[in-house]
Every structure is written in C-alpha cells, then in structure tokens.
Structure 1
C-alpha cells in the first residue's frame, strides 16, 4: 500500500523527473524508487507511478517491494488476474511478507468477499509488529459488512497506535453514532481527552455527542474547550452557534457564526444560520438579507431556497413563496418536505390542481404525516373530486387508523357524495375515538349536520358536556 513520502525523496523525485525530460538514464537504488512511486501514488499521478515502477523493475528485477507496488497498481486498475498471478509468484519467494496478504485482501474486497479479505488481513497481522494500516483496512472491511461493533474496535486499535490519527478517531465516533451509543462515545472521548487534553478534534466530537443527547450546557463547554485548543477551528464555532440557538441565545449564536466568516471565506450554511437567528429575533429585514446571501453564495443549496420560502409563507406572501419553493424542488425534486410545502402554498392561493399534484408527490416520496393526507383530501374536496378525496383518506387511514380527523373527513366527503349511511358510520366511529373535532366538522359540513339524525347526535353531545 502507498505510504506517505518522507522529505528525503524530494531529491530523487526531482532527479527522476529530470531523467524523463532527457534521454539520460540515471541509476536509483530500489528504496529511492519506492519513495518515488509512493509519492506519485499518494498524489494520484498513476501514469508517473507506472513509469517509475517499469524503470525500477528494469534496474532492480528482483525487488519484491517494487513488485508489490506493481501489484497495487494492478489492483487499483482492476487487473485482478495479473495481480493474483504476481502474488502467487511472490508468495513462493517470501511467504511471510504481510504485504502479500494485504494485497490479496484488497483483491478479495474488490470481489465483495469481505469475510475472505478479513481472514487474509488477520494473517497479515500475525506476520507484523506494526498493524496500524492493517487495522485500518480491517475497519473498512467491517464497515462494508455493516459490522459496526468490530469496525469500531479496529479503528480504536489505530487510535491506540497513533492518537493523532483523526481519520480513525472520526470512524470510531461514526460507529458509536450508527449504533446509537452516544453514552459510549462520550465515555470514549472523555478517556481520550484524559491523555490528549488539547485535542480540538476530540472536544469538537464530544460536543456533538452532548448535542445529540440535548445536553446543551455540556456541549457548550466542550466546544469552548475546542476553541481554546484551536481558536481558528471553524467547526467548533459553528457547532457552538447551533447550541446557543437551542438555548435561545440568538445574538450570541450570530456572533459565533460571524466568527466563522471572519476566519475563512463566508459559507452559505453560516449565512443561513445567521438568517434563522435574525428571524427568531424578529429582525425580518436582516433575516431576508442573510437568506438572500445564502442562495447567492450557493445557488444549489436547496435549504436556502426553503428558508426564503418559509419566510414569505409566514408573511402570507404566497406568490413569492410559490416561486422560491419551485427553486428548491428544481434542486432536489425527490424531497417530500418541499413537495408538501408546495402543496400547502398552492392550496393557500387556491391552485388546487397544482396542490393536488404536489401532495401526491409528497406521499410518493415518503411523507405519510396525518396532515398531508388531510390537506391532500381537502384540495380534492375543493375541486369537488369527492371520490378522490375518499380514496386518499382511506389510504391515509391505513397509516393513521386511530385518528378521528380522518374519519370526520371521510364522513364529510361521503355526505357530499350523498352516501348518508357511510357518512353516519364514519362520524359515529370518529366520535367514539375523539369528539374534539365535532365543532370543526359542523363548520365544514353544515348541510349534513343539519339533518335530523346529526341534530340528535349534536344534542346528545351537548347534554353530555353539561
């Protein structure tokens, strides 16, 4: 596998590249070639790496390490048969070379045989005193298998080898989070911080765990320690801002978001959060200013367009809201939240056909909330598509069988179709579940409620409430 090139190979690399530009042939020892090849592989310069391997093997045809690098390139290029043939030859020469097992494991992994890859990596561990890279590969194989417990243990081993291996530390926390073991993550990070008290990364991750558990004061302290450890750590300021928002300290949150802008170039996410804070503070013009900055900074950030949509929706400026929700949908056309918002906006301006389509899309993309079914049925009712409204409510009832609101709406639509028996059955069932919707039902369906049967029901409930 490719390793980080040290400072030492800078001269061989310069010499090698000079050789490529001339007809001269320079001699390098095999270790120089290894460093040159590692340098090119680490920088994604595969063509130059292949040239260095070819020339290296011409000068050192028996160099096993160079052949292993050739195999690594074969695996990268999916030339698995060539790689396996070379490995077979090398294993006869050096059957205790752990790199042979590592490359075989890479081939198994490419073939989606992750158990086979893990077995080979375990053999490689038995042959080396330095298992850092092997444990990292093991962790990735376990992640491929969704075995987050074993992946977590493997990445923990990497952190034991190198406590500044933040990539592995992030992977450990990722596994804790996937397992929803936030308490375990907190214990692990606190133990890590006992040994590394100035690790801004660990403090930042600890703060995020406390945030997940809604332990906002603890999260605030953790982010403060992250900032003490590195006062230019943008992530800590941003996360601290989110905590302050949760605590209702919007001006302090704005200060932290603005700090991220002063440290580096402004981001759309920072502008969005600042806008949200001003909105909470009632600073409508400032909120609008930052929301527009959000989409100017990143026109593809659908959440920015949604924020502007919500802003105008709350002001009941539905035409503007409709314009901006279409922007969000153009960016993420399969987001049920955006389609539902579109449905509500179009219903508010009585564009019932557009609202019908929007609610259908919302449901098709996975939004099964109670009010989605009720609103979708409502726009069909307004279009006098009573049978469609009944079909929608019947489907919604499968998701919300104990909700009286759906039953009241079914009763009302059956009454509008003239099916009084079904209307009576549904309103009776609704009243058994919850009579709180009765007053609204009277307002929505006055003709049915004026019938003698419903008048008797209403009189009965009026007496019962005395």
Structure 2
C-alpha cells in the first residue's frame, strides 16, 4: 500500500514587510512571539505565512496537537483561507481523526475548488482506506488544476497497483516519465510492474528507448540490466550493469546484481570479486554474505563457504538460506549428522521449502534413519510435486531397502504429477525389471523413449546390468539410430 502524507504549504499572504519568512531566524521569532502570546493569554495578529511557519515548527517537533491549536488561531484570524483547512485536515490525519479530516477538505473545496492540494490529500486519505475508485476520482481532479503533474501520475499508478491493475499503472508511469524523465521512483515502479506482468521484452524495449534519450540515467541502465537478467540474457545484463556503475560508481545494487548475473554464468570467482566491491559503498548485509557463501560452495571451497554462511546467520538469525548453506557444506564433507541440525533450523524458518526437506531426507537416509528420511521426502514431494529429483530419491530410498513395490508405488505417484518426465519412466523400467515385471518394464521403456530418447543413459546409470539386455538395446536403437 502506497500512502504519502503530503506536507502542503499554504500560499503567502504577506501583511508585514518586516519579516522574511524564508529566513529561519524570522521563523524562529514568529514561534517565540506565538508562544509569548500563549503565555500571556493575549491575542497577537499573525499573517498567514507566519502561522504556516509556526504550524510547521510543531509538526517538525512531532507535536500535532499544538499544531492543531495554532491552526485554530489561524482560522480565527483568517477564516477564509482554504489553505488552513487543508493544513487542519493534514493534522487530523496525523492524529487519526479521519472523519474530521474529510470534513475540513470538504470546507476547503467549497472555498477554493481549483486547489489541487485538496484532491491530492483526499486521494491519499481514501487510498489509505482502500477506497481505490474514489481516490482515483480525486487524483484525476488534481490533474485538472495542478501545474506539475508527474507526481500525481505516479500516485495514480500506485492506486492502480494496489487494485492489481498493472496495465493501467504502466500507462500512468509512462505519463509521469514523459513529463519528468528524471523521476527515479517512476522508473523503478515501471520495472516492478513489467516484472509482475512478466513483460520483460516490453520492459527492455522501453528502457532501450528511454536510454536513447537519457543515456546517462543510471536507473534506466540498472533496470535494463534487471530485465536482461530475468530473460536469461546474462552477458547483456552485465554490460548494462557496467554502464550503470560507470555513471554512478557507488551504485551498490548494480554491483550486487552484476554478481548475480555472473553466478548464472557459473563465473563464481568473478562474482565473489564483484560482491566484494559493494563493501566499498555500503555495509555488507546477510544476503550478500549468503550469496558469497553459495559461490564458494559451487567452487567446492567448503571452509570458505561455511565461513560466509556463518557471517550471514550471525547478522540475520532468521535467514533460512544461510542455515541451509551451512548444512550443505557439512553434507558435502559427509558430516551428515551435523548437517541435520542446520537443515532443521532452515526448516523451522521456512517450512514450505521443498529443497530443505529434500536435503534433510537425504542426510537422514545416509545415516540409515529411513523412517525420518521417508517422512522428509514425502513432505518435499507434497510441497513441490513437480520436482522429479524428489520422486527419484524418495522411491530409491525404498528400492535400496529391497522394498521394490513401495518404490514403484511412490514413482507411480511421481509420474501422475509429471507425465512428461522421461527420467521417471526410465527409473520405472529399472524397478519393473527388478521385480520381474518384464512386459510392463518394456512398456515404460517405450514411454520413456517417446518422451526423450536422449536420456536413455539414466536407465543404465541406475541399473548398469541392463546394458547387456538385448531386447532393451534393440528397443533403444529404434529411437536413437
């Protein structure tokens, strides 16, 4: 929910040429004079601008009650100044007096219906109460009367986002940028909307056109890089991030995402170096430590990986990925019992992550804790039934205990969820042959080869002795020769 409480400034109505209210010293003198009036229980006259400075003083001091008292004095002396009704509405919002805020805005509108501040504030108030359609009507009115409308277009885009209408949000974000190409918020919100709509190609097209007009916009290059990254165009994304960094050297987010792109290209050591560059411009957080740990893990440098994962969880004890990473490094070193503690911690923090349950089940199985392993695999399959690796390992747990029928039953469930997964059919061939169900095994082999003949090696990797079976070889040769 986007909600901005506008700090509206009332128009100048100078009655006293002795004061320059843009001068902080004169503003201080006005506050002192007002407080003297209150102490003396007297009545002094202040022009509208002086009252505004006094009100803002108490707002800055986070004292809306005193600010409201000043507004009352201001309205007594300037009863037809709509700007004070607007200010009063703002203060009522700050003090959670919504009904009174609406009432003051209505009064202001009767006095000065062409004041865009009225509609902006009312629009914000309505949007904060999720009255989206009414908020839009008010923002549209503000557009009619305001001189600078790029921020209003941005507010309208926020409303459409909150309504789930991202297409209309895109339209108004573009309007905002047409008026003010340097509106960074609009640039980033546009990238967000394209992401939600899964319109990365449209996003790339827009930012490329934008960069043609504004080649030195670091935000545009950054967002272009993000779109390339999501499209899997990693080299192009790196180039875009490099341009963003060239324009804004301390752009830590661009370094970080460049590192992510390098990870996608398996260039892990380069990614680590880029991640380290962010340290020059902002304090490292748990996420970047975790990303560096993952790079070292992929490089099979487990001591270094574990060191960075530990830094991550020390900084953020609720980072499930960090705890999981520590478990993975221990698992790699065959320290399965130790890994269980860290997998459990990760699961406690993120119980619907299939990968965590899968790894937990794998370690339990390696320790011979078959019941606990099966339970974990079952949970993993429940969370992500489309992950074929889960079904393969889950069924294999029973097959290796010579419980072939149980393995077949589990794999059958996996095939129901993944009817086009060739590797599941190849594994079923192995199970069926082992149980003496030769005709069914050949039938599954035909299914597997029809789905993906290139994966036939899966069968021999699991049951090498089948390479000597002439019938199986003949069937395979019909598909691959």
TM-score (normalised: structure 2):
0.77
Higher mean alpha-carbon deviation, 170-179 vs 403-412, is at 403-412
Residues 123-142 of structure 1 mapped to structure 2, 5 A cutoff: 123-142=141-160
Tell me the residue number matched to 2:372. 354
* Conserved 8 A contact 1:408-1:427: no
* Conserved 8 A contact 2:56-2:67: no
Tell me the residue number matched to 2:72. 57
Task: List runs of 5+ in structure 1 lacking aligned partners.
Answer: 450-457
Higher mean alpha-carbon deviation, 88-97 vs 12-21, is at 12-21
* Conserved 8 A contact 2:54-2:70: no
Residues 1:218 and 1:366: Cα distance change in structure 2 (over 3 Å): closer
- In 1: Cα distance, 2:215 partner to 2:425 partner: 59
Shift of 1:221: 2.7
Tell me the residue number matched to 2:6. 2
Residues 1:393 and 1:284: Cα distance change in structure 2 (over 3 Å): closer
Given candidates 443, 468, 472, the residue that maps to 1:461 is 472
- In 2: Cα distance, 1:37 partner to 1:341 partner: 61
- In 2: Cα distance, 1:68 partner to 1:301 partner: 45
Shift of 1:392: 4.2
Shift of 1:58: 2.0
Tell me the residue number matched to 1:434. 448
* Conserved 8 A contact 2:425-2:448: no
- In 1: Cα distance, 2:9 partner to 2:112 partner: 25
Q: Deviations over 1:155-202 (max 9, x none)?
A: 233334443331221111212222233233233333433444333222
Residues 1:35 and 1:227: Cα distance change in structure 2 (over 3 Å): farther
Which structure has more relative contact order (CA 8 Å, sep 6+)? It is 2
Describe the SS at the equivalent of 2:249: coil
Q: How many residues align?
A: 448
Tell me the residue number matched to 1:258. 276
Q: Deviations over 1:353-402 (max 9, x none)?
A: 22222223323434531222333344456678888766644443331124
Residues 218-297 of structure 1 mapped to structure 2, 5 A cutoff: 218-297=236-315
- In 1: Cα distance, 2:189 partner to 2:57 partner: 25
Given candidates 187, 197, 200, the residue that maps to 2:218 is 200
- In 2: Cα distance, 1:280 partner to 1:177 partner: 28
1:396 and 2:396 equivalent?
no
Given candidates 157, 162, 166, the residue that maps to 1:144 is 162
TM-score (normalised: structure 1):
0.80
Tell me the residue number matched to 2:350. 332
Tell me the residue number matched to 2:87. 69
- In 2: Cα distance, 1:413 partner to 1:40 partner: 78
Residues 1:343 and 1:115: Cα distance change in structure 2 (over 3 Å): same
Describe the SS at the equivalent of 1:60: helix
Residues 1:177 and 1:4: Cα distance change in structure 2 (over 3 Å): farther
* Conserved 8 A contact 2:156-2:172: yes
* Conserved 8 A contact 1:30-1:60: no
Shift of 1:426: 4.8
* Conserved 8 A contact 2:225-2:236: yes
Residues 1:256 and 1:460: Cα distance change in structure 2 (over 3 Å): closer
- In 2: Cα distance, 1:9 partner to 1:158 partner: 33
Shift of 1:111: 4.2
1:215 and 2:229 equivalent?
no
Residues 1:240 and 1:20: Cα distance change in structure 2 (over 3 Å): farther
Describe the SS at the equivalent of 1:434: helix
* Conserved 8 A contact 1:261-1:270: no
Residues 1:72 and 1:401: Cα distance change in structure 2 (over 3 Å): same
Tell me the residue number matched to 1:163. 181
